[in-house]
Structure 1
Amino acid sequence: MCNLYRMRSSVDEMRQVFGAFQGDRANLKPRDEIYPDQSAPVLRMVDGTLTLDEIEWGVPPPASGSRPVTNVRNLSSPFWRPMLSNPDQRCLVPWTQFCEWTGEKGTKRKVWFERTDTPVSAFAGLWRQTSDGPHMAFLTTQANETVGAIHPKAMPVLLETDTHEAWLTGDYDAATALARPFDDERMMIMS
């Protein structure tokens, strides 16, 4: 499960990949380590306009006392299905690298992954308004071979640029069809 990623791209680099959006700030500081419970940049539709915002990572769970949910795997869950069915609750979570851990407890080390074909990409995200503001999580799916060599259980859903609109506006079936392993040939482990 991915619980650490980086977002180092500038607003200009984001515009080149995601197109025009509201909320483009003069500076978006590089984030070398984004962990759960931290705010992170997201792009979501607000009144029909793609808008840059910062949202806390981790959606409060349906059962009290549990930790916030950062990764969504069960797309048919009664908790997630309403969010997946509502395009207004979907978002793009920009990232430049994501991390999985390897090794035994006490000797674990970080392994970073990135795409080879673009400087910034997007996870398929969901967001939810709560009493203490908006919170987000992103979808995971079966790991491809590159990620699976380190973390065989799952990997984030990485969206292609030409699928951003389908993710943000499509119906439930169109959106969930995007939850698939990413092409190994366009990913690499950073050295």
Structure 2
Amino acid sequence: MCNLYKARSTAEEMARLFNAIPDPAYQIVIEKDYVAPGKPGCVVREENGQRLLSTMAWGFPFQGKPVTNVRNYTSPFWKSALANPDRRCLVPVTEFQEWSAAPMPETGKKKAFWFSVPSQPTFAFAGIWRPTEIMPVFSFLTSGYDGDPAAHVVGAIHPKACPVILHPEDYDRWLHADLDEAIDLAGPYPSQLMKVN
């Protein structure tokens, strides 16, 4: 489960990359170059045919804690946002972190691994968002693996699931398609296109 990621692009770079303009309703307020649960991060949403670069808090609130990763796409907790294209978003990312499932033999402690997409210095997770009384919130989809998790670059470290990374040509489809077509995009990103540090 991904609970830390970096977004080291500037707001101007993100706006250019995702063909977006600053959102007048949810202005860009970024505290650090990484995003942790409950903290603000940038998302790209669409309104009236225009992509907007917004700031929202990471994690849908549940029992006082932010839920950051969407795993069960049929859960009523997520389904209304997933089914509504107006509540889908792109989450700009430069790297994301996963902890090893087991302690490393040499240290006896779990290790943090960082994953990137070398061909896309800034890529996008498939996200959803909703307004709240304080500020809007977002989460992003995660996916299991096709076959043996150990055969995937992320699965070899974290076998439960990995964030759903979208190919740039699928951004519009994620933001506009009906639910079934959008969910078809929720699979593991090709290992050969990723790098682990």
Corresponding position of 2:103: 104
Specify every segment of 5 or more residues in structure 2 that has no aligned partner in the other structure, as ranges: none
**Structure 1 contact 8–96 (Cα < 8 Å) conserved:** yes
Corresponding position of 2:72: 74
- Residues 29, 77 of structure 1: CA spacing in aligned structure 2 closer, same or farther, 3 A cutoff? closer
Corresponding position of 2:61: 60
Corresponding position of 1:184: 191
- Residues 18, 91 of structure 1: CA spacing in aligned structure 2 closer, same or farther, 3 A cutoff? same
**Structure 2 contact 15–22 (Cα < 8 Å) conserved:** no
Which residues of 2 match residues 76-155 of structure 1 at below 5 A? 76-102=74-100, 103-104=102-103, 107-143=109-145, 145-155=152-162
Q: Provide the rounded CA distance (Å) in 1 between the counterparts of 2:14 and 2:59.
A: 23
**Structure 2 contact 22–52 (Cα < 8 Å) conserved:** yes
**Structure 1 contact 11–28 (Cα < 8 Å) conserved:** no
Q: Bigger CA drift: 97-106 or 150-159? A: 97-106
Q: Provide the rounded CA distance (Å) in 2 between the counterparts of 1:16 and 1:68.
A: 29
- Residues 117, 35 of structure 1: CA spacing in aligned structure 2 closer, same or farther, 3 A cutoff? same
**Structure 1 contact 17–121 (Cα < 8 Å) conserved:** no
Q: Provide the rounded CA distance (Å) in 2 between the counterparts of 1:97 and 1:163.
A: 19
What is the TM-score when the length of structure 2 is the normalising length?
A: 0.86
Task: Please give the secondary structure, in 1, of the residue aligned with 2:80.
Answer: helix
Q: Provide the rounded CA distance (Å) in 2 between the counterparts of 1:32 and 1:172.
A: 32
Q: Provide the rounded CA distance (Å) in 2 between the counterparts of 1:28 and 1:146.
A: 33
**Structure 2 contact 29–55 (Cα < 8 Å) conserved:** no
The alignment-based identity, stated in percent, is 43
Corresponding position of 2:51: 50
- Residues 3, 162 of structure 1: CA spacing in aligned structure 2 closer, same or farther, 3 A cutoff? same
Cα offset, 1:66, TM superposition:
5.2
What is the TM-score when the length of structure 1 is the normalising length?
A: 0.88
- Residues 108, 134 of structure 1: CA spacing in aligned structure 2 closer, same or farther, 3 A cutoff? same
Question: What is the count of residue pairs matched by the alignment?
Answer: 185
CA RMSD of aligned residues (A): 2.3
Cα offset, 1:104, TM superposition:
3.1
**Structure 1 contact 10–29 (Cα < 8 Å) conserved:** no
Cα offset, 1:29, TM superposition:
6.3
Q: Provide the rounded CA distance (Å) in 2 between the counterparts of 1:16 and 1:120.
A: 11
Corresponding position of 1:174: 181
Cα offset, 1:109, TM superposition:
2.5
- Residues 108, 138 of structure 1: CA spacing in aligned structure 2 closer, same or farther, 3 A cutoff? same
Q: Provide the rounded CA distance (Å) in 2 between the counterparts of 1:55 and 1:15.
A: 15
Corresponding position of 1:4: 4
**Structure 2 contact 46–86 (Cα < 8 Å) conserved:** yes
Cα offset, 1:34, TM superposition:
1.2
Q: Provide the rounded CA distance (Å) in 2 between the counterparts of 1:155 and 1:5.
A: 12
